[in-house]
Each structure stands twice: as structure tokens, then as C-alpha cells.
Structure 1
């Protein structure tokens, strides 16, 4: 049984990926500082899968702790989620983001190198494409970033490419996520932000659950079919399955490759809102407000490289994403804290 070390494994994407890893027969070791996640999520994973997860509560920058983990366990590969991810917060606290995301990854890579573990799947983001002039976006598009969060992802990608150039025995998959939404179809695990949600879907579900008054829609005069921003929404379980395919890839190849994980379809804010209302039976009041700096009119993925090389394709449509998100929220009105 191969052991996978999952940093940030108690978070939204980390928990869903851990479920898929366990169900695929892997053993999972998680490191999470619980800064934006809850230990309850790990307990639910174990109930859901009937399998045990080893959890270390600690920080990715803690070299002594990482040394303990790598010396205690025979680790096959690393899936690296650990990182701060709020764009607005990154603008107000850039040094915090560079320290946590970039310096933390540096500590991790040094420890992996020390122990000869040279397979890693890195959680990147479509923010590394900056403000593309056209969509769909493929992996060859120019890279840039419009905020410190995006720059940390871009810096880590460059670190990984430089690492491979210096040592071609590394096997690295960089996964560029578009907009993950939804939840496990059991309604047992899902997205549970600590504060007011930064992302659209948990904001919608919390309005539906009565936790928030109304949805704010940032801008309605973009050059899109209804004036609101268009994004590529992907079911979090499809995203998790992409990590399994990437693990298979790094197990059989050396090199460094970037892959888009998106559906290839764009939906506007109002498209998503209408579909959610249709699938949930809930009415979501909303208010149009001003645009946010740095937001683009439309961005969606070209996922053909992931399909051709990883053999990965999405299984869930936008309706399923909305149903599963509402099932999670309605089963857990206050999230894990309940």
C-alpha cells in the first residue's frame, strides 16, 4: 500500500481528495495547521470511508515536524495543498502569504529532497494566467498574476521548474484549478469557510441557509451574455479525481508538467445563481454592486491536455454541482462547527 503525504489535507479540496485516495487504496498522512479547516472533517472522512487517516496538526514551515513525518513514514509521493488562498487578504497581508505559501513550500521541498522523495502534485491555480485576453485558456498561455496570492502560486511553479532543471530525477505535476464548487454526494464533507465566504458558491448556500442576508454580485456590465462575470466551475470531486490521475502520472514519468483542471465551459454568476435556485428550490436575494479590481470578464479552461495525457475528464455537470453544494449546506447549516 503506497503512502501519500497530503499537506493541507483537512481543507475543502484536501478532504475530498483524501476520500478518493483512501477509496483507491492509498494510505494517507495529513499535515494541517487547521487555520482554515477543522479536525471534525478528518473524523468524517474516516466515517465515510471506514479507513483511518494519520493527522499531524502543525505548520508546513515547521522543519522539525516535517523531519519527524518523513523519518517515521515511508512516503511514496506528496500532494501539496497547504497554503493561504484569499485574494483580498493577500493584498492586505502580502508578507504573510509569501511566508506561508512560498517559504513553506521551500521547507517542504528541501525535506523531500533530503529523504529522496521526488514525486509531487502541486495545487496551483488559474490565477497564474493573470488577465487573459481570450478563453478558453490552455497551458501554453503567458503566465502572470494580479495579486500576491496569484504571485505565490506562480513563484512556486517557477521553483518547481528550476528544481527539475537542477535535478531531472524529480517528477512534478502542477494542477491549475479553475473554480471548484460542490461537495461529496453524501453531504458529509464540503466547503466550510471560517468567515464570510470569498467564493461564490458558499456565499450562495449560506444565503439559502439563512446565515447571510443576500448575495452581492460584483458588476453587471461586463461584455458577457448577461453582464456578469463568467467562470469555469468544476465539481470538487472531479478535481479530487484529477489528483489521483496526476499521482499515477508522477509515478510513471519524470519531468515537470502543468495541467488545467476545468470543464471547458463558462457560466456567469447569474447562470450559476439561476441553476442553484432551480436545483435547490430556494430563492436567493441578490444585489448588484461595483466591480472588484482585478476581476476579468470571462475565463474558462481548455482541459484537452489533462484529457490526453492524464486520461482525466469531468463527470459532473453544473446541476450536480449545485445539488451537492446545497445537500452539504442543508445537512450542515452551520458547517462542521455544528
Structure 2
């Protein structure tokens, strides 16, 4: 198969491109490089010993997407391209709906015009909002609390409508929990611009001396140590989930949605302790007030992915921290030095 990966130069995208290559697929990447660096793909190619064409462009450009799909004879699309910062989505909601929702619709139209009907969508556990039950199953009601989460939920509804109205579509929606970690080589990893929004890259910057300390938002939650609990999943496990989902779609048309998580919660302080052990560095912490809207616990019921296509997360929190530290140590400034 020749797989088109949109946003393939990004964090999850680059790891998935590598996993697809290692599984024997041909891959072409479309990326605007607004929030990514082409150096990640150069390193993926070096790791795989294979060439990956990079077409720089925007998924909102339907004519461009049709040209790419036809030029390379693509048989499936894995769609990562989009905006992903929850806080930014609150400040700039129109951008999120235009890129994440309208961009996906434009891409689907280009696929239909090009005769490509196999689609894997990068969704998010944020579609669930505050959990009514733990662990969170796929049939949990949607109640997203931000424009980012709502944009993902909207696309999921569009995909369900499309699958129900047109026979022949093969659609998988993968709802991620908290992707962390890096490839074991340390060649590719998460490289946020500016101060990281997410916990793991922030902790890595503190361990590496780039930031002075970690602010822990609240230690009075009803959790074992009072800090927030989340389901952290290694990005390589996540990438392998996309390969398994594509293989399952190849068996026949249909539409399914699954959680990709470990099913286990890890608190902020547990993650800090694991990272301290992995890096052998001090990680100064300051306890501050809770942030409005933060939730005490959030973790997946990942059983459906196992029963449907034999996937489960394998890597431990210690491995996530060790691989993140290996990446951070080798690339203290991300891809900017390349």
C-alpha cells in the first residue's frame, strides 16, 4: 500500500511514518510545516533506510490534495494535520474549526474524487469531556470542553455520516489519551516550540536545565497523592496502533472508533518520580492552585482495540520517561540545531 500521511512531519506523525515504513508500506507525507520540521522526516528516512517524499502544502487546498493522491497512487490516508493546543483553541476558535473541521472535509472530498476510501483519523480523548465513569469506554457521551475537543467531535460525526451515506468507505477513528515518549534511538521525538503545554516535555526541559522548575497545579484532588491522574501512552505504541488499524481496514469496508491508551492512570508526582529516576536529575516542583476546568482522573478503557485488531500498549511509564530523556539529552533544542 501507498499511504498518504498528513501532518507526517509532526510528533505523532513522524513516529507513525516510521512504523508504516517498518511494516513494509510506501509512504508520502503532506505537511505545511507550520508546526513541524522537515528534519524529523530526514531522520525517519535515515532510521528506515527508505525515502519518503514530502509535499509541502495545506489539506484545505483540495486541488493540491487531489494531485498528491493521484500522483503517488495513494490507497489510504492517515490524517494528523491540524491544530492541537487546547488553550489556543479557546482564544482562536475560528482557526480551529477552519483547519480541523473544514480542512478534513476538504481532504475527504479530495479522497472521494481520487477514488481513495480508506481513512484513519487522529482524534482525541478530549471528545469525552469530564468522565462520568472510569475507565472511559468508547460509548461514553461526548461533552468536549474546548473548541479543540469540539472540532474533533465534529469530525467524528462527519465521518459517521459519511460512512452511513456512502458504501465502500473504510474509516477508523483513534481517540488518543496522552501521547509521550520518543523513538528509542533518540533521533525523533516531541519538539514543541516555546514553553511546552504538556507535562512530559515540560518535565524534560526542567531536567535538562532549560526551565527552572515544574509548577504542579493542585495537590488536593481525590487521588492517591492529591495530584491529577492521566493515561500516558508511549508514542511508539500509538504509532503501532495506526498500523494495526490500517491492516484491519484492509479486510473490508466499515467504520469504527477506538480508544488508544494504557488503561492505567499515572499521577503528576508519579511521573516526576519516574523521570527523576530515568534522568538522574533533580526536578524542582512548586505546588500551585488548581487550574479551572482540570479533572482529577482521566484514563481509558482500551479493550476494544485489543478485541478488534489485537492492539495493546506495551511500554511502561519508566520506558516513556527513559526514551523522552534520551531524546531530550541528544536534542536539547529539538530539531532547531539541525
Scaled by the length of structure 2, what TM-score is found? 0.98
**Residue number in structure 1 paired with 2:148:** 149
Q: For residues 277-310 of structure 1, what are the alpha-carbon distances to aligned partners after superposition, in whole Å with 9 as ceiling and x for unaligned?
A: 0121011011122222222110101111000111
**Residue number in structure 1 paired with 2:192:** 193
**Residue number in structure 2 paired with 1:138:** 137
In structure 1, stretches of 5+ residues that fail to align are none
**Residue number in structure 2 paired with 1:218:** 217
- Secondary structure at the counterpart of residue 259 of structure 1: strand
Deviation of the 1:18 alpha carbon: 0.5
**Residue number in structure 2 paired with 1:294:** 293
Deviation of the 1:196 alpha carbon: 0.9
Bigger Cα displacement from structure 2, 133-142 vs 235-244:
133-142
Scaled by the length of structure 1, what TM-score is found? 0.98
Asked if residue 76 in structure 1 is aligned to residue 75 in structure 2, the reply is: yes
Q: For residues 212-252 of structure 1, what are the alpha-carbon distances to aligned partners after superposition, in whole Å with 9 as ceiling and x for unaligned?
A: 11111111111111111100000000000000000011111
Paired residues of 1:134 and 1:299 also in contact (CA < 8 A): no
Q: For residues 126-149 of structure 1, what are the alpha-carbon distances to aligned partners after superposition, in whole Å with 9 as ceiling and x for unaligned?
A: 001110122101111111200000
Bigger Cα displacement from structure 2, 37-46 vs 287-296:
287-296
Asked if residue 316 in structure 1 is aligned to residue 321 in structure 2, the reply is: no
Q: How does 1:1-338 map to 2 (within 5 A)?
A: 2-338=1-337
Paired residues of 1:264 and 1:301 also in contact (CA < 8 A): yes
Deviation of the 1:210 alpha carbon: 1.2
Paired residues of 2:14 and 2:44 also in contact (CA < 8 A): yes
Q: For residues 73-126 of structure 1, what are the alpha-carbon distances to aligned partners after superposition, in whole Å with 9 as ceiling and x for unaligned?
A: 211110000010000000000001111100100100001111121110100000
Deviation of the 1:64 alpha carbon: 2.3
- Secondary structure at the counterpart of residue 191 of structure 2: coil
Cα distance in 2 for residues equivalent to 1:288 and 1:11: 32
Cα distance in 2 for residues equivalent to 1:317 and 1:301: 15
Bigger Cα displacement from structure 2, 230-239 vs 135-144:
135-144
In structure 2, stretches of 5+ residues that fail to align are none
Cα distance in 1 for residues equivalent to 2:248 and 2:141: 24
Aligned length: 337
Q: Detail structure 1 runs of 4+ shifted over 6 Å in the superposition.
A: none
Cα distance in 2 for residues equivalent to 1:78 and 1:255: 15
Cα distance in 1 for residues equivalent to 2:309 and 2:198: 28
- Secondary structure at the counterpart of residue 335 of structure 1: coil
Cα distance in 2 for residues equivalent to 1:123 and 1:283: 35
- Secondary structure at the counterpart of residue 136 of structure 1: coil
Paired residues of 2:63 and 2:110 also in contact (CA < 8 A): no
How large is the RMSD of aligned CA atoms in angstroms? Answer: 0.8
